[in-house]
Amino acid sequence: MEWLGVLAFVLIMCYSGYPSRLVKTEKNLKNAEKRIKNLERKLNGGNDMSDMIKALKGQKCVLTFNDYIEGTLNTTLECTVVDADDEWMKISYTSEEVKKIVKEEKIITQIIRIENIDSIELSE
């Protein structure tokens, strides 16, 4: 019967370092995935496009989407670019639907994925 206790003790000692090794491996995997994603973005010219979009901060533009965006019923939207990074864009616009119902302007701020945008036109 004592050998079961000794066997359990040996198994516990063998696997006591397992979670830390697993965490370290997951961290290395995440870093490798980030590097691969950055390399793919460089190959596809994604950095140049995101730099151009980042330059639109504070400017009014008309965005054309490949699908309806949440909160609007059309695929084009006149908005102001608040902020942008590599994958997301923060925009603000006045809702025409709310304006018709309430007779009051309501400014909506929304975050959208850049890959959902078909075209961007600057408006003055």
Q: By the 8 A CB rule, do 118 and 95 touch?
A: no
Give the pLDDT confidence score for residue 16 in this predicted structure. 74
Name the most confidently modeled range: 19-33, 35-49, 89-103. 19-33
Dist. CA 71–CA 80, nearest whole Å: 16
Fold of 56-122: SH3 type barrels. (2.30.30)
Q: 71-112 pLDDT, tens per residue?
A: 555 678 889 999 998 788 999 988 776 666 767 778 889 898
Q: By the 8 A CB rule, do 104 and 84 touch?
A: no
Mean pLDDT throughout 47-73?
77
Determine what percent of the chain falls in helix, strand and coil, rounding each to the nearest 5: 50, 30, 25
Dist. CA 119–CA 98, nearest whole Å: 25
- More confidently predicted of 31 and 99: 31
- More confidently predicted of 118 and 92: 92
- More confidently predicted of 38 and 72: 38
